[in-house]
Amino acid sequence: MSFFNSIGRSMARAPRPPKRSTTPTSSSFPSTESLPNTPTTPSAPKPLYLCSPFVEAALVKGNFKHIVMLPKYADVMEWVAVNIFDFYQNLNQFYGVLAECCTQQSCPTMTAGPALNYTWINQDRKSVQLPAPTYIDYVMTWVQNLLDDDNVFPTKSGREFSQTFPSTVKHVYRQLLRVFAHLYHAHYPQILHLRSEPHFNSLFAHFLAFGKEYELLDIKDVKGQPGIPVGIGALWERWKEMGILES
Ligand SMILES: [Zn+2]
């Protein structure tokens, strides 16, 4: 058994913070963005996460290139698996703290930009609007179930990763990105209130750098479509200018 396998095995038993529904009602991914009914005015104020000093706040100084590099002798699948496990755990903990601010009333849709709502594809293949906490609950439950599934994230020695692992982790990445995108867009004041912006920024920059390095991220998902930008797309650009991310 490898080092990473043993980590995966022990951490997989870690208790999971709050309230999750047992099964998402949708098993189908990916969901798609919906076009807004009304165009928004382009004169919205600059989001706080793009403003100094918050945009520079970080636990990790410098570029993430070295952190994401494949360690010598590590298998790339295992490296991806263990990192996704960590990203999920960390994001889940942040969400656990922010969940009281993310309610059906405060977030009736899964927003991620001034003109962007993510929709969920339900069992009938229909794209539906969900309140953000419901959407996020579905995502986190879905990812947790995958992580617990030894056929997807093998933890026993001698077990191979399936051929669908790369496409599965891309779906996971896309959905976790949406959770980040919502938290930045809708809950950054609360992150600041908790003084968690250095930690949250470093987690997200690490997530972006890792996703880019292993081609788990679709840049279209980070930046959005013309006229329907994802809020965090500007953060991605800013961090590239600052040298935090590779350009
Ligand atoms: Zn919310």
- DSSP assignment of 32-82 equals -EE--SSPPPTTPPPPGGGSTTGGG--SS-S-SHHHHSPPTT--HHHHHHH
Strand 120-121 vs strand 228-229: parallel, antiparallel, or unpaired?
Answer: unpaired
The answer to whether the CB of 137 falls within 8 A of the CB of 21 is yes
Mean pLDDT of the chain: 85
CA of 52 to the centre of ligand 1 (A): 23
What amino acid occupies position 51?
C
62: pLDDT strictly greater than 90? no
3-state DSSP assignment of residue 196? coil
Look at residue 7 in the predicted model and tell me its pLDDT.
Answer: 39
- What tokens were used for 43? 């004169």
CA of 111 to the centre of ligand 1 (A): 8
CA of 231 to the centre of ligand 1 (A): 14
pLDDT class of 15 with cuts at 50, 70, 90? very low
* 22 belongs to a structural domain: no
* 21 belongs to a structural domain: no
Q: Is 107 annotated as a binding residue?
A: yes
* 188 belongs to a structural domain: yes
Alpha helices in the chain (DSSP H): 3-12, 65-68, 76-98, 132-148, 165-193, 197-213, 219-223, 231-242
CA of 132 to the centre of ligand 1 (A): 5
Average pLDDT over residues 17-36: 48
* 23 belongs to a structural domain: no
135: pLDDT strictly greater than 50? yes
Q: Is 182 annotated as a binding residue?
A: yes
The answer to whether the CB of 114 falls within 8 A of the CB of 233 is no
* 246 belongs to a structural domain: no
pLDDT, tens digit, for every residue of 144-185? Answer: 999 999 999 998 877 889 999 999 999 999 999 999 999 999
CA-CA distances (angstroms) from residue 134 to 18, 19, 84, 106, 246? 13, 11, 22, 12, 34
* 56 belongs to a structural domain: yes
Look at residue 137 in the predicted model and tell me its pLDDT.
Answer: 97
What CATH code is carried by the domain that includes residue 45?
1.20.140.30
* 24 belongs to a structural domain: no
Q: Is 199 annotated as a binding residue?
A: no
Number of compact structural domains in the chain: 1
**Ramachandran angles phi, psi of 99, nearest 5°:** -60, -30
Per cent of the chain over pLDDT 70 is 82
Look at residue 14 in the predicted model and tell me its pLDDT.
Answer: 43
Q: Is 193 annotated as a binding residue?
A: no
Comparing CA positions, the residue from 31, 27, 29, 22 lying closest to residue 141 is 22
| Cβ-Cβ contacts under 8 Å for 147 (sequence gap 6 or more) | 12, 84, 85, 88, 153
pLDDT class of 78 with cuts at 50, 70, 90? very high
CA of 200 to the centre of ligand 1 (A): 16
* 181 belongs to a structural domain: yes
CA of 133 to the centre of ligand 1 (A): 6
Give residue 109's domain range. 3-15+29-241
187: pLDDT strictly greater than 80? yes
